[in-house]
């Protein structure tokens, strides 16, 4: 077994891909990438999961850097993290050669 050949870029794409690797999270990302923002409650109404589970998925997307949350008491407004979203677009574009 040789030395590590895996690049930082590959790690980054893998990290983003992992965050995208669940239907619920894909749904959220697709929605946010279209309209840029929404409230957690709106998602909760549409999706077949309890709010605590949704909260976990949003946390996962946040920790991957793909979204960000802003408190607007008593609600939380979630938006695409534009900077990282752009990076993800770029990385996937390169990777997929599209």
Partner DNA sequence: ATTTTTGTTCGTGTTTTTACGAACAACTAG
Partner DNA sequence: CTAGTTGTTCGTAAAAACACGAACAAAAAT
Residues forming the site for its own copies (CB under 8 A)? 1-6, 10-11, 13-15, 17-27, 29-30, 33, 44-50, 88-89, 92-93, 95-98
H or E stretch including 20? helix 8-20
Least gap, CB of 91 to its own copies (angstroms): 10
10 binds DNA (CB under 7 A): no
Taking 3-state DSSP, the helix, strand and coil percentages for the chain, each rounded to the nearest 5, stand at 60, 15, 20
In the bound state with its own copies, the residue whose beta carbon lies nearer, of 8 and 72, is: 8
Tell me the residue length of the chain: 98
**Sequence-distant (≥ 6) Cβ neighbours of residue 49 within 8 angstroms:** 24, 57
In the bound state with its own copies, the residue whose beta carbon lies nearer, of 46 and 70, is: 46
Which residue is listed with tokens 């909260």? Answer: 55
In the bound state with its own copies, the residue whose beta carbon lies nearer, of 34 and 72, is: 34
Least gap, CB of 74 to its own copies (angstroms): 19
């Amino acid at each position: 077994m040789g030395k590590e050949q895996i690049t930082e870029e590959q790690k980054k794409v893998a990290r983003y891909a992992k965050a995208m690797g669940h239907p619920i999270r894909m749904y959220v990302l697709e929605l946010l990438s279209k309209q840029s923002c929404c409230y957690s409650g709106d998602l909760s109404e549409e999706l077949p999961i309890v709010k605590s589970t949704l909260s976990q998925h949003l946390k996962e997307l946040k920790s991957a850097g793909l979204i960000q949350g802003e408190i607007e008491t008593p609600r939380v407004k979630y938006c695409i993290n534009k900077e990282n979203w752009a990076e993800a677009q770029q990385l996937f574009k390169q990777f997929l050669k599209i």
